Amino acid sequence: MVIEDDNRIIIEDWENYKSIVHLKTDLNDELVNCTGTIISKNIILTAAHCVYNQKLNIKAKSAKIFFRQDNVSNGVKILNNNVLKIPKING
């Protein structure tokens, strides 16, 4: 729900954004919405908080990946054994 003036840009032409995906991850039964970037055929880069809960020290149970403007009922589901945490990076 948007309460104030909405000046967001709605993307109509996804041609320039082919590498951007929408992720829905399951972190301890809490659904988290994030974006990701396709790096290669089988790698998507996203923020750590999208797939890892530092306080509880748990990885996402699963993630669903939506390409372009896919409907929420579509998407590719991956399980947590496919989620990798990159070691801490500073700077």
- Give, for all 91 residues of the chain, the pLDDT tens digit: 556 777 777 777 767 778 888 888 888 888 889 989 999 888 888 888 888 888 888 888 888 888 766 555 567 777 666 666 666 655 3
Region of 68 please: left (phi>0), alpha (psi -120 to 50) or beta.
left
Alpha-helical (H) ranges within 1-91 are 48-51
- Whole domain around residue 34: which residue ranges? 18-82
**Is pTM, for the whole model, over 0.75?**
no
User: What was the pLDDT predicted at 52?
Assistant: 84
What CATH number should be reported for the domain holding residue 52? Answer: 2.40.10
The answer to whether residue 68 is domain-embedded is: yes
The total number of structural domains in the chain stands at: 1
- Alpha carbons 76 and 4: distance in angstroms, whole number: 34
Extract the tokens encoding 29. 């039964």
The answer to whether residue 52 is domain-embedded is: yes
- Which helix (H) or strand (E) segment is 79 a member of? strand 76-79
User: What was the pLDDT predicted at 89?
Assistant: 57
Dihedral pair phi/psi, residue 47, rounded to 5°: -70, 145
User: What was the pLDDT predicted at 10?
Assistant: 72
User: What was the pLDDT predicted at 91?
Assistant: 38
- Amino acid, res. 26: D
